[in-house]
Amino acid sequence: MITVMGATGRTGSRICHTLLEAGVPVRALGRSAERLAPLAAAGAQIAVGEPNDAAFLSEAFRGVEAVYTLLAYGPDTEDYRRQQAAQGEAITQAIGHSGVRNVVFLSSVGAEVSSGTGPIISMHDQEQRLRAVPADVNILMLRAGALFENLYGALEIVRAYGCYSDAVAADVPVPMVASADVADAAARALLDRDWRGVQVRELLGQRDVSYAEATRLLGAAIGLPDLPYIQVSAEELTGALLQAGYTPSIAGCYAELAEAINSGRVRAQEQRSARNTTATSLEEFSQTWAASYAALG
């Protein structure tokens, strides 16, 4: 059996289905039995609890071959670093208490940097915690690039203003990756368990894409091939996010991340290779994005 955290989410749900299709029993974790019900119907054992509850996680990690872990948050998270630390500490304690021997952690490009990386800082912190667990636990840190799905944040902006804007500079190449490809890499690792000790693997997407190019591709998919990308300042981004209902903690993280991407503080460490390059192109994702845009009406 394999335990999957964040099982109702983008990577977690796909991992659960892939494992079940491979005939591997799955224990799917989430905060709501109702949201987990489709996974139960697909054959998963479900376990309902909070991701910062070490006792709940210890039980959920006990007796399984491997666990998939991540640090979840939302736009309403009040104190990002504290909320993430609570989950990270609970996960680390649960690894120790449960005796599980194989752990995959969804981390991020840039997690090697110890400050000034916005939301990525919590993944840096968690990588440090995981490096301190007993040496007989095999830990795989999968450092994903920016998820394509972040671009769903562009939907309302494009509709309201006829452009996309963010504080990332227009022409900086960014490794962007489909969450489905991240999930598939994680599922493969959970099934194969082909690593020993602590390993880091980056997942860099099909190719690097700048925000200007991403905007052109999204625009082309909705019949607006000249959709402009407009870089705003970090302060302007923060203001817009606060207005959209994000907490100051999360808005501040995103502004800091944009600056970290622009300065090169957050960037891939590995050379591109078959292992860190994934299949789905932003052109393909743009079609899915366009369907969501059409659904806005």
Ligand X SMILES: NC(=O)c1ccc[n+]([C@@H]2O[C@H](COP(=O)([O-])OP(=O)(O)OC[C@H]3O[C@@H](n4cnc5c(N)ncnc54)[C@H](OP(=O)(O)O)[C@@H]3O)[C@@H](O)[C@H]2O)c1
35 binds ligand X (CB under 6 A): yes
Q: Binders of ligand X: how many residues, by CB under 6 A?
A: 25
276 binds ligand X (CB under 6 A): no
Question: Nearest distance from residue 258's CB to ligand X, in Å?
Answer: 12
Question: Nearest distance from residue 40's CB to ligand X, in Å?
Answer: 13
User: Do 81 and 115 meet the contact criterion of CB atoms below 8 Å apart?
Assistant: no
The only residue of 9, 118, 175, 252 in contact with ligand X, by rule CB under 6 A:
9
3 binds ligand X (CB under 6 A): no
User: Do 260 and 117 meet the contact criterion of CB atoms below 8 Å apart?
Assistant: yes
- In sequence order, the 6+-apart residues with CB closer than 8 A to the CB of 12 are 4, 5, 6, 28, 68, 70, 183
108 binds ligand X (CB under 6 A): yes
Q: Could you give the CA distance from residue 282 to residue 271 in angstroms, rounded to a whole number? A: 20
103 binds ligand X (CB under 6 A): no
Q: Which of 92, 91, 97, 67 is nearest to 2 (CA)?
A: 67
Question: Nearest distance from residue 267's CB to ligand X, in Å?
Answer: 13
Site for ligand X in 173-192 (CB under 6 A): 179
110 binds ligand X (CB under 6 A): no
Closest CB to ligand X among residues 162, 279: 279
144 binds ligand X (CB under 6 A): yes
User: Do 176 and 214 meet the contact criterion of CB atoms below 8 Å apart?
Assistant: yes
Q: What's the token pair of residue 215?
A: 């905007």
